[in-house]
Structure 1
Amino acid sequence: MRRSRVRAIALTLLLAAGPALTGCVSAFMVPGPEETSGSAVAVVPPSPVADSPSPFAGTAAIRDFAFDPAGFTVSPGAVVTVTNTGTTAHTLTAQDGSFDTGPVAPGAAVSLTAPGQPGAYAYVCGFHHFMRGILTVG
C-alpha cells in the first residue's frame, strides 16, 4: 500500500512540474521561423554563385561556448573560415539550413561558403543551441 502512495505522489509532482520543465528546455531550443516574429532575421534560400573573382573572405572563431564575433558581414558567396579554439566540438549551422560546418573538433578549422543572396542568416551551434550569431551577407 505504501509503494502505491509513493508512486501517486511522484506522478502528481511530475505532472505539476511538467509545464515548468518544458519552459526551461525551450529556452535552449532554436526558434523556428514562426517564433522569430519581430526580429530582423531574413530567411533567404541559397542561390548558385556565378563564376566571378573571389569575394571578400571572413573568419569566425569558436571560443569555448561562444562565437567570436557573434555577428559578422561577408560578401555573397564568400569563403568563411571557422576555427574552434575551444575544448569541445561545435558547429556553425544556419537555422534555415543554408550552411553548416558539420562538427568542428577542438583545434580544427573548416571553411564554408556564405549564401549567394544578401540577407541576415541566423546561426547556432548544433550541439549547444544557446550559442547563436548572425551572418550578414551584403
Structure 2
Amino acid sequence: MNAPTPYAPGTLTVSVNTTVRWYNGDTNQHTVTSDTGVFASPLLDPGGWFSFTFTQKGTFPYHCEPHPNMTGTVVVA
C-alpha cells in the first residue's frame, strides 16, 4: 500500500477573493475538508481537482478525511 502524499505547500497565504485549487496527484483517494466546516471536497480520485474561493480573511486549517494526519492551512490576509 502506498503512503499518502502530504499537501504541498502545507501553508498557503492568499488574498481575499482568491480561488485555491487542489489537485490530487497521488495514487490514493483524498478529500480537502475544512476543520471548521467552511468547505469540503468530495472524495477525490487520483487526478481529481477541488476549488474553493476564500471571501473572508482568516486562517483555515484543513485535513483529508481518509488520512487525518494529512493537514494544511490557507491563510487569507
Tell me, yes or no, whether TM beats 0.5: yes
The structure with the largest strand share of the pair is 2
Name the structure, 1 or 2, with higher relative contact order (CA <8 Å, separation 6+). Answer: 2
Deviations 1:88-130 (A, max 9, x none): 110111100001122111012221222x221111110111110
- Partner in structure 1 of residue 10 of structure 2: 70
1:135 aligns with 2:74: yes
Number of aligned residues: 74
Structure 1: gaps spanning 5 or more residues: 1-63
1:93 to 33, 36, 55: 33
TM-score (normalizing by structure 1): 0.50
Quote the sequence identity (%): 32
TM-score of the superposed pair, with normalisation by structure 2 = 0.85
> Whose helix proportion is higher, 1 or 2?
1
Quick check: which has more Rg, 1 or 2? Answer: 1
1:121 corresponds, among 39, 51, 60, to: 60
CA RMSD of the aligned region, Å? Answer: 1.2
**Runs of 4+ residues deviating >6 angstroms:** none
